[in-house]
Structure 1
């Protein structure tokens, strides 16, 4: 027996808890450093990618591509905005401001980018959170039905999951508008209409593709759980298949979904660019698209960094939730 194993076995309960806390803090520290690296990489890629987009950012400062500004005015504006400096100097200035939380001012709106994003963030987060919750409900229900409904339910469920996961947001949104707004006239076609019903179609447009993907992962996990030793023991204790599914298998099926929630939130916010445009809904996605079209560089960079930060935060929270839900991970 090695010396390390003997030392671990001789640890008192208090020392063992201290070792676990130390390991946990190391994991958190590494995740924070990794998050900072990801944000730096995202900000860098977005900065240089915007310089490859055709057009001149000065046009956004002067009111758009159709302005009649003279060359002298354009040069003066470029100098005042710092766009006449070498690209690396602009990049260094941008990073310096980013570290202090200064996202700059919008070229087109003449407002601080932080204020522009703050005005739109709530709309996008509401849409994404509702879509994530809806996707979870649909995925768990579909996984439970497909795994317990027999051969036909398994085939149909698998088909629905594959089709849902492959459906593009813009196509699904247009189809839902055509069916429920134009033909049946049950729900509004745009999110500008008053009432909670204006959220139903955008939420479903985001949730259905995600539910198809999560359903596939959850169903496989549920099938494995139903044949595991703890399921055999539960059956021996007299638990019915329904009790086994609801009390044990669903929890195991939810674990991979929890682990994927960070990716799912990032996917939902990315999908919001399409959904907010299709349903004329205000939000970060629509703001990002409009800013790209007019080359409002500070707003574009602010949107990209904000989305990356949200993705990182949700990923960390989902990892923590997965550890709380799975005793095996808490022991690590």
Structure 2
């Protein structure tokens, strides 16, 4: 009996591990060959453009970093480093890649987590307002709310960030334009810049699901039993409507990590995004592959956590899933 229950869990875990390995391999492969096709990384090793290194120094550097080997051999060596978590040293910075990533990663994670939290808060508030006013404010008001969501979704991050700097930093002086030091005020504009487009997308998804849940039989039954509107919202419809947006949270987090590159450069904020940009411009292959690999692993981890969260929110998904991850069987909307 225990063995039969353990098999789905093992298959689920094996599938997630296999998916993570596949993502890391694809990312590392694409980045490696893209960087090598853009130019010789020896330039970064010898100090950047304009290096006056002689032929002997060039030959010695090629031998030291294995650049005299065939490209396939260099690729396999890089994969072995990733598999053994020995990412090597940065060509340009002459420091271990792991140390550089560990130093910059917390700032980027803080930015992404705060932005995702704010995006969820804005999406939920927008969905609640839309549901509570649906049919009361008329088609014009509903169209305005929908238009605001679409505008938020398609707004480029660099443009929004520039506008926020112009209005709230330069004109009003409410927040600093650059994230210097550890003062919380320096996080406000970068977090809002990242959160608004994601909030628009999540609001579109959650609003439609919330309107559907509000008219569902379980919500009508709850009202017939005397439940107040706030109780129906908190105990029934909001939980049901959160499922589509929750399923997209993994994608949203990955999008926030990629958007951090633009935001960290725009607001002069230290983090993995700026580190990755500098490494790419310098053709620093070990540092770029190490940073991108870490981002890919974080994305996979968040997707897995999202799957687990869906199991606890929606009991209908628990049938083929691991028994160890199952919550008490409470129907959605009950």
TM over 0.5: yes
1:51 partner SS = helix
1:122 equivalent to 2:106? Answer: yes
User: 1:290 & 1:78 partners in 2: Cα distance?
Assistant: 22
User: 2:104 & 2:141 partners in 1: Cα distance?
Assistant: 42
1:132 to 116, 119, 123: 116
User: 1:331 & 1:223 partners in 2: Cα distance?
Assistant: 27
- Mapped contact 1:83–1:90 kept (Cα < 8 A): yes
User: 2:3 & 2:252 partners in 1: Cα distance?
Assistant: 34
Equivalent in the alignment of 1:4? none
User: 2:40 & 2:317 partners in 1: Cα distance?
Assistant: 51
Equivalent in the alignment of 2:225? 237
Q: Per the alignment, do residues 194 and 112 of structure 1 end up closer, same or farther by CA in structure 2, a change over 3 Å counting?
A: closer
User: 1:300 & 1:26 partners in 2: Cα distance?
Assistant: 33
Q: Per the alignment, do residues 271 and 128 of structure 1 end up closer, same or farther by CA in structure 2, a change over 3 Å counting?
A: same
User: 1:71 & 1:281 partners in 2: Cα distance?
Assistant: 39
- Deviation at residue 241 of structure 1 after TM alignment: 2.9
2:268 partner SS = coil
Q: Per the alignment, do residues 56 and 166 of structure 1 end up closer, same or farther by CA in structure 2, a change over 3 Å counting?
A: same
Equivalent in the alignment of 1:59? 43
Structure 1 unaligned spans of 5+ = 1-14
Q: For residues 241-269 of structure 1, what are the alpha-carbon distances to aligned partners after superposition, in whole Å with 9 as ceiling and x for unaligned?
A: 33322321111121122211111111000
Q: How does 1:62-211 map to 2 (within 5 A)?
A: 62-150=46-134, 151=138, 152-211=140-199
User: 2:182 & 2:293 partners in 1: Cα distance?
Assistant: 31
User: 1:18 & 1:302 partners in 2: Cα distance?
Assistant: 39
User: 2:108 & 2:233 partners in 1: Cα distance?
Assistant: 34
Q: Which moved more, 1:24-33 or 1:281-290?
A: 24-33
Equivalent in the alignment of 2:330? none
Structure 2 unaligned spans of 5+ = 321-334
The structure with higher relative contact order (CA 8 Å, sep 6+) is 2
TM-score by length of 2: 0.91
User: 2:196 & 2:253 partners in 1: Cα distance?
Assistant: 14
1:44 equivalent to 2:29? Answer: yes
Q: Per the alignment, do residues 282 and 50 of structure 1 end up closer, same or farther by CA in structure 2, a change over 3 Å counting?
A: same
User: 2:37 & 2:131 partners in 1: Cα distance?
Assistant: 49
- Deviation at residue 153 of structure 1 after TM alignment: 4.2
Equivalent in the alignment of 2:314? 326
- Deviation at residue 24 of structure 1 after TM alignment: 2.8
- Mapped contact 1:146–1:156 kept (Cα < 8 A): no
User: 1:81 & 1:19 partners in 2: Cα distance?
Assistant: 51
CA RMSD in angstroms, aligned pairs only: 1.4
1:293 to 281, 289, 298: 281
Report how many aligned residue pairs link the two structures. 316
Q: Which moved more, 1:255-264 or 1:314-323?
A: 255-264
Q: How does 1:213-292 map to 2 (within 5 A)?
A: 213-292=201-280
- Mapped contact 1:226–1:249 kept (Cα < 8 A): yes
- Mapped contact 1:265–1:314 kept (Cα < 8 A): yes
Q: For residues 284-331 of structure 1, what are the alpha-carbon distances to aligned partners after superposition, in whole Å with 9 as ceiling and x for unaligned?
A: 111000111111111111111010000000100110011111111123
Q: For residues 152-204 of structure 1, what are the alpha-carbon distances to aligned partners after superposition, in whole Å with 9 as ceiling and x for unaligned?
A: 44322211110001011100100000000000011000001551110000000
- Mapped contact 1:145–1:157 kept (Cα < 8 A): no
Equivalent in the alignment of 1:23? 8
Q: Per the alignment, do residues 155 and 245 of structure 1 end up closer, same or farther by CA in structure 2, a change over 3 Å counting?
A: farther
